[in-house]
Copies of this chain bind each other. A is one copy, B any other.
């Protein structure tokens, strides 16, 4: 009996403006697909009530963060002078990829750029775009979590995000959640059949030919 073809995993980066439905899409993907996990970021901000270290974030000190940057142990990071720092640690991601698991990353365009530099052909960047800014504003208002001025700020950011979609590998319009999830799923499943990710293809072919 031939074994399955061994493959290496892919990093799927999802970006969207606030209210773009990114969290809902990612949640569904993680629920409906096997062999895929969400990357857990490191952060220097304090743990909030209900958060779990190693699940929501790896909560680390400023000191430790600097160390990770110096050791080039992060795939990407946001290092603002004010406010907390965030980053994607390489090791847990690489362990998953090597084991043939896919990894979902929730990042904005600067993260995509950094990831591409360090791991170009293992990255697929997916932009979720809303059907219109009007719909996006409605969603933010209906969500009811943001004050009016925060919504305005988010809407200004959204314009930039939507324009950036041209730099992504895939663009998915999030008009209907199920349709968007179906397309995102297709992107992930297709990558699993991509020849460049099938590191065990040679071995597999040998098995197929030997089993006469």
Contacts and interface: CB of A to CB of B under 8 A. Distances in A.
A134 B137 CA distance: 59
Contacts of A23: none
Interface in A139-172: 159, 162-163, 165-166, 168-172
A193 B171 contact: yes
A107 B209 CA distance: 22
Interface residues on A, range: 35 or more
A132 B173 CA distance: 40
Contact of A171 (B168, B171, B198): B198
User: What DSSP secondary structure best describes chain A's contact surface?
Assistant: helix
A32 interface: no
Given A131-B2, A189-B186, A195 B168 contact: yes
Given A4-B173, A129-B204, A166-B205, 15 more contacts: A1-B132, A2-B131, A2-B132, A132-B207, A133-B208, A133-B209, A133-B212, A162-B205, A165-B195, A171-B193, A171-B201, A183-B190, A183-B192, A187-B190, A189-B190
